[in-house]
Structure 1
Amino acid sequence: MTEPLPNSLWAATAPAAPATTPLAGDARTGVAVVGGGFTGLSAALHLAEAGAPVTLLEAEAIGWGASGRNNGQVIPTLSRIDPDDIVAATPAELGGRDKGEQLVGLIRDSAALVFDLIRKHGIAAEAVQNGWIQPAHRASRLRLSESRAEQWARRGAPVRLYSRVEMATLTGTDHWHGGWGNTTGGRINPLGFARGLADAAIKAGAVIHTGSPVRAIRPAAGGGWVLETPRGTLTAERVIIGTQAYTGDFWPGLRRTIVPVRSYQMATSVLSGNIRRTILPEGHALSDTRGDLYFFRFDESGRLVTGGALMLPFAWDSRLRARIAERLRRVFPQIGEIRFDYTWWGYIAATKDRLPHLYDLAPGVLGWTGCNGRGVALAIALGREMARASTGTPLRDIAAPVETRLRTIAGHAFRSLGIAWNIAAARRLDARD
């Protein structure tokens, strides 16, 4: 029996998932995909469309993890690392600058890929591609905005800078000092998107089993791999792992490459039309330059969807409501009385260097970790790339560096202390120029 979804806005409003059942007995396939979030669903869809036999195994329900719990902003950047740094961080043995630029190009086009898939398959996901903006929370951070806009523009991204007056017009507040944005970004109902991807994958020929947690992956006697679940086994020639912060112990060391960080989300009651028209009036998705991020977007019914970080999880609901209500009154004073209809949380997968890492884990086995809060668009793009690699494209031609050594995190057992320390450090830095 699967665990229920959290009482989130998305669970209350997303269309129903397609019918699926647990894996029972012994089955075979060409490619086994582990994880029914954005990575796995993108891989399954692209594999099925390429004519490859594919079976996806999900421990709970479609979109049960981070893919169905996030804020639903579709952002074609990484959260902390900019293009020049991505290129510089790609070592020569992984392809150097050329491979780094390929990864930058993949990220640049990732939001467009999300909305293209939604249009192609007619997915009901409240999709609005009006752009994503990143306002500067201090005047000194405008230098960061200028640098980011210049780096992405140099690589062909549709970006622009905004003055303080322009940003006030786009946001409905003078809280920020200007900033930049990318017109390919936007917002979706992420659980609706996940369920729509599952439906599209099934229609293309993929087999999806929910309630089927993978307990172990071992070599098959005749070649390939055997994936063990509580009620059956799946033998496959190739395997794609896309479980991120919800990774279990089925592959040695993989879960120690990331730290699961709680991401808290919430949605207000429906705002009146007069107030609604004064906040993000053009429908942008927004996340600013703070380390302790301020982020806002609307859903289609007029709820403001936001959230925040907490250093410690105790009494999280009441503390989150109080903290974010005060934030909203400060940023959008016109909002008046604030009532939150939904609060929920999910884990995101953070890596030590804030970069995603795609791994060639063993012959025929691929996985990646490190969404770092940008998983909506990035997971869709990397899922497609892993599908390409599983249908004959050489790993050297995949649009991301492919590593063979896991980047495990030292002191992983003490990760909760590190999370609290990092949030405190981010808040200190946010207050400084």
Structure 2
Amino acid sequence: MNPSHFTRPVWRRPAAMPFVDEPLAASERVDLAVIGGGFQGLSTALAAARRGLSVRVIEACAIGEGASGLNGGQVIPGLKQTPEWLIQHFGNARGEALIDFGTHAADAVFGLIENERLDVEYSRAGWIHAAHTATALAALEDKNRQWRERGADVVLLNGAEVALLTGAEGYLGGWLDRRAGTINPLAFAVELARVAAAAGARIATGQTVRKLRREGNAWQLETGAGGTISAGSVVVATNAYSDRLVPGLARSLVPLHSFQIATAPLSPALQERILPHGHAVSDSRRIVTYYRRSPDGRLVLGGRGRMAKPRSEKDWAHLQHAALRLFPMLEGVAIEHRWFGRVAMTLDHLPHIHEPEKGLLAVGGCQGRGVALMTAIGPRLVDYIVGGDPAVLPFPLTPIEPIPFHAFRQIGVGALVTWYRILDGMEG
């Protein structure tokens, strides 16, 4: 079966024409070139255009065909690390800056939707991190303490409360972060492109950049169509889809495939039992299972899949098994959508910002929080491009460090995913 069959998510596209695609000319000159039209690239383009910069966005596919339109649409604030960990590892000043950035990352998404009146379904009911072991629950208790000390709208849940809010079986407790929520990610990507174009950014889809070089005070981008773009600054917003354009960037990231399924629309009775209040959920398993309800009342559930592209519906069998383990009442409910996308992780589970040469910026590593983090980081990148002060960036500028034996590590990741799945199964 053609793998392209599995790139059609359940998410609705906005009905109106989002923007006018502006093909690349043989020669162009702009203040800022953005390579990649996902959340990060479009957020950067919108912020730059509104600061008066001339902007060209180059996207290899259609808007929404990459990770931005293929993810689960969970908008989670913060980083994977706790506030105390961030301060311990980065010091007070940088640690507090990271905490503040993460705290308000979800606000950037919901603020754009509301302020720009984007045609994007969303809910801000909150996110539950569900614990399936006593060790995981103890870690959530510590995280809850740290965030409550900072005044965050969070609360610890016992097992009965998690069961009531999710309808799922098998959790000992959990942690509810009311700052979080869900969106239609495909509609958000398409609508971001619309408002960025309306602000003046010119977007070209189905186009690639095959070479990037510095000449004097400008960057020269050679496109796949044979044209040239001269830009004062460049933001490479390709993340998990990075190639050899920036030396070492792709090899500094661990790409993973995120597989998802969506059921048929749930009956009214099942909607009363499964996520009745619209929460998003991720669990504490080594191979995380995450789920939510779609705007049209389906259960959408995702997790890590095989490292190669899928070949048949059997490649989603582990997710269907997880859905029935959590929600036995779904027995007999059809799975109507299956899809996958690529995500990028870093070894330290933090996003990285690189500036290998002056005027060339790249950000990589979302760690499962890409909707919020990549949307929020765009305006900060523009602040740095305009003002030149690295203090405005939420993360410190770091050199690109390719992972040793990167090709073998990908094979190892596939084996590790299989082993972790076995361990998770033994724990129930």
TM, length-normalised to structure 1? 0.92
Is 1:140 matched up with 2:135? Answer: yes
C-alpha distance in 1 between matches for 2:123 and 2:322: 25
Q: Secondary structure at the match of 2:123?
A: coil
Farther off after superposition, 161-170 or 29-38: 161-170
- The residue aligned with 2:29 is 28
C-alpha distance in 2 between matches for 1:398 and 1:314: 35
- Which AA in structure 2 matches 1:150? R
**How far off is 1:239 after superposition?**
1.1
Which residue of the other structure, out of 249, 262, 269, is the alignment partner of 1:267? 262
**How far off is 1:220 after superposition?**
2.5
- Which AA in structure 2 matches 1:60? C
**343 and 4 in structure 1: CA distance in 2 versus 1, 3 angstrom threshold:** closer
**How far off is 1:312 after superposition?**
5.2
Which structure 1 segments of 5+ residues have no match?
Answer: 91-95
**How far off is 1:297 after superposition?**
0.5
- The residue aligned with 2:202 is 207
Kindly report the root-mean-square deviation, in angstroms, between the aligned alpha carbons of the 2 structures: 2.1
C-alpha distance in 1 between matches for 2:395 and 2:348: 16
- The residue aligned with 1:411 is 405
- The residue aligned with 1:84 is 84
Over the matched positions of the two proteins, sequence identity in percent amounts to 38
- The residue aligned with 1:45 is 46
- The residue aligned with 2:109 is 114
**423 and 321 in structure 1: CA distance in 2 versus 1, 3 angstrom threshold:** closer
C-alpha distance in 1 between matches for 2:311 and 2:140: 32
TM, length-normalised to structure 2? 0.93
Deviations 1:189-245 (A, max 9, x none): 111100100101111111111122111111124x11111112211111111111101
Deviations 1:139-167 (A, max 9, x none): 33210111122223334432111122211
- The residue aligned with 1:72 is 73
Deviations 1:318-339 (A, max 9, x none): 3344322222222112223131
Superposed, 1:159-308 pairs within 5 Å as: 159-221=154-216, 223-231=217-225, 232-308=227-303
Q: Does structure 1 retain, via aligned residues, the 8 Å contact 2:261–2:301?
A: yes
Which residue of the other structure, out of 358, 362, 366, is the alignment partner of 1:367? 362
- The residue aligned with 1:386 is 381
Farther off after superposition, 411-420 or 14-23: 14-23
C-alpha distance in 1 between matches for 2:343 and 2:309: 19
Q: Which runs of 4+ in 1 moved over 6 A?
A: none
C-alpha distance in 2 between matches for 1:176 and 1:286: 12
**137 and 339 in structure 1: CA distance in 2 versus 1, 3 angstrom threshold:** same
Q: Does structure 1 retain, via aligned residues, the 8 Å contact 2:32–2:54?
A: yes
- The residue aligned with 1:338 is 333
- Which AA in structure 2 matches 1:323? H
C-alpha distance in 2 between matches for 1:388 and 1:397: 7
Q: Does structure 1 retain, via aligned residues, the 8 Å contact 2:262–2:335?
A: yes
**220 and 6 in structure 1: CA distance in 2 versus 1, 3 angstrom threshold:** farther
**How far off is 1:6 after superposition?**
5.0
**346 and 312 in structure 1: CA distance in 2 versus 1, 3 angstrom threshold:** closer
**414 and 407 in structure 1: CA distance in 2 versus 1, 3 angstrom threshold:** same
Q: Does structure 2 retain, via aligned residues, the 8 Å contact 1:310–1:316?
A: no
**How far off is 1:265 after superposition?**
1.1
